[in-house]
Chain A
Amino acid sequence: MSPRAQAASGAPGGGPGSNGLEQLLAAKEIAVFCGSGGVGKTSVAAASALGAVSRLGGKVLVLTIDPARRLATALGLDGVGNLARRVPADLLKAAGVDDRGELYAAMLDTKQSWDELVMRHAPDEETAYRILENRLYANLTARFVQSHDYIAMERLYELHQSGEYDLIIVDTPPTRNAADFLEAPKRMADFFGGRLLRWLTLPYRVGGRRGSRVLNVASRPFYQVADRVLGSQFLEDIAEFFLNFQSMYDGFSARAKAVERLLHDRRTTFAVVTTLEAAPLHEAENFCERLDAGRFHLGALVLNRTLPDSLLSPEGDRAASRFSDDAPAVAAQLARLVGSEHASLNDEVRTARVLRTVGESFHNFSLVAKREAELRAELTRRPEVVARVPSFDDEITDLTGLMRVGRALFGDEP
Chain B
Amino acid sequence: MGPAPEILGRRLLFFTGKGGVGKSTMAAATAMLAADRGRRVLLVDVDGKGDLATLFEHTPVGFRPVQVHPGVLAMSMDTEASLQEYLRLNLKVPVLGRLGPLARVLDFVATAAPGVKEILTIGKICWEVREAIAGRADFDLVVVDASASGHVVAQLGAPAAIQELVDVGPVRSQTDWLVELLSDPEITGVNVVTTPEEMPVAETIELVARLRAEVSTPLATVIVNRVLPELFTVADEETFTAMREPAVTAALTEISGPGTTAVLDGARLAVSLRRTGATHLTELREKVDLPLLYVPYLFARVQGRRVLRMVADALGEELGL
Contact = CB atoms under 8 A, between A and B. Distances in A.
B235 A310 contact: no
Interface in A206-253: 221-222, 224-234, 237-238, 241-242
A80 interface: no
Contacts of B270: 361, 364-365
A350 interface: yes
B259 A231 contact: no
B269 A228 contact: no
B245 A342 contact: yes
Nearest to A145: B151
Nearest to B264: A358
A368 B264 CA distance: 17
Contact of A37 (B18, B236, B239, B252): B18
Contacts of A238: 109, 112-113
B84 interface: no
Nearest to B100: A222
Nearest to B280: A395
B240 A36 contact: no
A224 B95 contact: yes
Contact of A330 (B165, B256, B300): B256
Given A225-B87, A231-B172, A69 B166 contact: no
Interface in A352-408: 353-354, 357-359, 361-362, 364-368, 370-371, 391, 393-395, 397
* A contact patch SS: helix
B18 A176 contact: no
B259 A316 contact: yes
Contacts of B231: 357-358, 361
A229 B259 CA distance: 70
Contacts of A370: 301
Nearest to A396: B198
A397 B169 CA distance: 52
A196 B20 contact: no
A118 to B, nearest CB: 15
A395 B276 contact: yes
Interface in A323-339: 323, 330, 333-334, 337-338
Contacts of B5: none
Given A230-B109, A316-B266, 14 more contacts: A38-B199, A145-B114, A174-B19, A196-B105, A222-B99, A229-B170, A316-B259, A316-B263, A319-B263, A333-B255, A341-B247, A342-B242, A354-B243, A358-B264
10 contacts: A136-B112, A226-B109, A233-B168, A234-B113, A278-B303, A318-B257, A319-B262, A338-B251, A347-B239, A397-B198
Interface of B: 18-21, 47, 87, 91, 93, 95-96, 98-100, 104-105, 108-109, 111-115, 147-148, 150-151, 154, 165-172, 195, 197-200, 202, 231-232, 235-236, 238-240, 242-243, 245, 247-248, 251-252, 254-270, 272-273, 276, 299-301, 303
